[in-house]
Amino acid sequence: MFLDSVAPSDVLLTTHNFKQKLSHGFDGTFTKLLKETISNILQTIPHVINKSFVTGIAPQDLKIAKVVPIYKFPDKRLLQDYRPVSLLPANSKILEKIMYKAL
């Protein structure tokens, strides 16, 4: 599979469209912080994404999710009234969005 190279402007546009949430994955980085500091790491992220596209392998740290229980309905005391939600690292969301656009 051949994918176009990712430019820093692609990463900037992708992160610009993120909602500013305070939830975070295991790495502790939330999208609000990522949006505020993206200019500091703007050259590194495209390199990682392009390397991932060429090799077909995503970095292990981008695959780790923090799973938290979210309350659904009637009784908060019952375990079956919760659903698991996976919180991914903010950097993995950049890779996912750019891969989605490329496909």
Name the average pLDDT for the chain.
90
Parent domain of 32: 8-58+89-102
- Indicate whether 96 belongs to any domain: yes
Q: SS3 helix, strand, coil % of the chain, rounded to 5?
A: 50, 15, 40
35 lies in some domain: yes
d(CA 23, CA 4): 31
**Residue 77 located in a structural domain:** no
Asked, for residue 39, whether it belongs to a domain, the answer is: yes
Which ranges of the chain have pLDDT less than 70? Answer: 1
Interstrand relation of 66-71 and 82-87 (parallel, antiparallel or unpaired): antiparallel
pLDDT at 20: 85
Query: What is this structure's pTM?
Result: 0.80
On whether residue 31 sits in a domain, the answer given is yes
**Are the CB atoms for 73 and 81 separated by under 8 Å?**
yes
Number of H helices, E strands in the chain: 4, 2
* Short-list 52, 41, 32, 53, CA closest to 12: 41
Q: Is the residue at 68 inside a domain?
A: no
- Number of folded domains that form the chain: 1
In a domain, 64, yes or no: no
Quick one: pLDDT at residue 1? 62
* Euclidean distance between CA atoms 102 and 89, whole angstroms: 20
